[in-house]
A and B are shown apart, each in its own frame.
Chain A
Amino acid sequence: MQEVVVLGVGLHRFGKTGDGVVGEKSVTELCRHAVDRALKDAGVSWKQIQAVAAASSRFSGGKGWGLNGNDVVEDLGCTGIPVYNLSAGCAAGGNAFNIGYSLVAGGIHDLVLVVGGEVMPKGMIQTSGVEDANDPEFLRQRCVGMPGPSFWATLARRRMFDYGTTEEQMAKVTVKARKCSESNPYARFQKAVSLDEVLASPYVSNPLRLFEICPVSNGAAAAVICSKAMARRFTSQPITVASSAVATIRFDDALPRSLANPVPSGASFHTEAKAAVMKAFEMSSIGPRDISFTELQDNTCYYELAFPEEWGLCEPGEAERLLEAGETAPTGRMPINPSGGFVSFGEATTAMGVFQIAELTWQLRGQSGGRQVPGAKVGLAQTNGLGGNATAAILKR
């Protein structure tokens, strides 16, 4: 195995179709901007890139929108290199990073571009586009009508029952996240919100409110990665990829993927996310208490409370107390989502896993300005995706 490093990263600021940030830009234009920035940051030219791992948001059920990595390569100039289009729902960016990592670690290529980007359809994400009784998403939507936010709301409601978590505590996660976004020039929302404003926003899926779930956004992210040996030619301070892992949901997961599961014998929440993170710890010999900060997939603020304890970053049921004590802020003892997270960016599905790599890289270089985690040495990134997908990566300086 070759050691892998991140040489350069770039983002296109996130926004909403028609606004002053992303306007009517195509997904290829957004990606072009992010890739140009990543190449410049790395000091690498396009012609030196040996392969592309692209996150592609083709869901089950034949949804046709989303990034196609071949379009990005055509736009940059067809050099004939291999393009891998990876589909894993909202975990696709993390999946693409893992494939890029694996290609370099395995010695297949030395210099790889990872890219994700999205121009999202408006409104709640349509998870099935077919009238097909063999598609589990079709059955769930036609027979029940359970959109993404209700999936998260069901888990949040259960946490309220298990740990006594209050709606106010969930709202405080958003207040913390949006405070971080004030100093992130790439976030769609860059304005703090008060607890009252969050609690005054309407329920999208009770108990979760509009300001507590991520909207859909347009945006793009890119990362240039290479072998440590090659990195010496470009930089004296590369960021090391300590590990990158992918996992899928377990048979006994708590929440049915379609209409029903067998009742699990014990607590078995988020089995895909936990497995990916545990694997990343194991591969790197880095433990949860060594992590300086975490970028996790906060489609909803609920995940910021549930995930840290499942991964051993804190004790079960302790997340609410740490949040209220300010310990999950960038200057706290367990910083979570110093970038502002999905709640501040909105979700450009396939860009998210790569956006996290960019934030980890900036934090570890000490380039994160007002949201900087002081003395950040090790960062953990995690994504989740429809279909039971999850990824994790650990970066260190």
Chain B
Amino acid sequence: MSQQREPAVAGLFSEEDGVRLHGAKCTTCNTPYFPKAAHCRNPDCDESKIEPCSFGGGGVLWSYSVADFPPPAPHKYDKPFVPYVIGVVDMDNGLRLVGQMADGLEAMRIGARVELAIESIYHEAGKAFTSWKFKLL
């Protein structure tokens, strides 16, 4: 059954041409931003030159935790609640990024290679609402 998919927050990412997170980069100091920043926040940067930048690819799991209980609003989840792993990943593109892990706790190992995927995180009004997740390779 195909179901309409919609990003949990509009404009943050897309999946039509592979996973792309829509952020920005300062071309002076090379600092990546996700979500996009209006100005460079690096205090050591001489001149803020922000350009749109889309990020994809993979990285290495820096650390992780588990949501053993449902987080409070504004988080949304399918009931009954199923605990999930939250990863913090050092991406090859220079971002240290937070996201849900697609895999279970037993498979987690700090230092493991992961790649980005767009998957549903909750369903509402007949639609699957999506976010980025990390998949172990």
Contacts and interface: CB of A to CB of B under 8 A. Distances in A.
Interface in A137-163: 138-147, 149-151, 153-158, 161
B102 interface: no
Contacts of B73: 126, 141
Interface of B: 8-12, 23, 31-35, 41-44, 62-69, 71-77, 84, 86, 88, 90-91, 94-100, 105, 110, 121, 131-132
Given A131-B74, A139-B35, A157-B110, A145 B100 contact: yes
Nearest to B65: A153
Of the candidates B34, B69, B75, the one having the most CB atoms from chain A within 10 angstroms of its own CB is B75
Nearest to A127: B72
B67 A150 contact: yes
A260 B98 contact: yes
Given A251-B42, A263-B96, A206 B9 contact: no
A251 B67 CA distance: 27
Given A154-B65, A206-B66, 5 more contacts: A150-B65, A205-B65, A254-B96, A256-B88, A263-B95
A206 B104 CA distance: 12
Contacts of A123: 72
Given A124-B72, A145-B121, A157 B98 contact: no
B67 A259 contact: no
B8 A202 contact: no
Nearest to A151: B65
B66 A259 contact: no
Given A153-B66, A205-B67, A260-B98, A147 B9 contact: no
Given A150-B66, A158-B63, A251 B41 contact: yes
Interface string A2-16: 000000000000000
Contacts of A138: 74
Contacts of A142: 8-9, 74-76
Interface in A231-257: 251, 254-256
Contacts of B31: 262
A82 B65 CA distance: 44
Given A139-B9, A259-B34, A155 B75 contact: no
Q: In the complex, which range does the number of interface residues on chain A fall in?
A: 35 or more
Given A123-B72, A133-B9, A145 B88 contact: no
A140 B131 CA distance: 11
Nearest to B60: A263
B98 A256 contact: yes
Nearest to B130: A143
B75 A262 contact: no
A207 B105 CA distance: 11
Contact of B67 (A129, A147, A207): A147
A205 B12 contact: no
Q: What are the 9 A-B residue pairs with the smallest beta carbon separation, nearest first? A: A153-B65, A206-B66, A145-B75, A158-B63, A147-B71, A150-B65, A126-B72, A260-B34, A260-B95
21 contacts: A123-B72, A124-B71, A126-B73, A129-B74, A133-B10, A140-B98, A142-B76, A144-B86, A145-B67, A145-B75, A149-B65, A154-B64, A154-B88, A206-B65, A206-B105, A251-B42, A256-B97, A261-B96, A262-B42, A263-B91, A263-B94
A258 B65 CA distance: 16
A203 interface: yes
A368 interface: no
Contacts of A349: none
A157 B75 contact: no
A206 B101 CA distance: 14
B102 to A, nearest CB: 13
A161 to B, nearest CB: 5
Contacts of A204: 68-69
Of the candidates B11, B72, B84, B131, the one having the most CB atoms from chain A within 10 angstroms of its own CB is B72
A370 interface: no
Given A145-B100, A204-B69, A262 B86 contact: no
Given A126-B73, A154-B88, A261-B95, A143 B67 contact: no
B110 A251 contact: no
Contact of B96 (A143, A161, A256): A256
A128 interface: yes
A264 interface: yes
Contacts of A325: none
Given A143-B131, A259-B34, A158 B9 contact: no
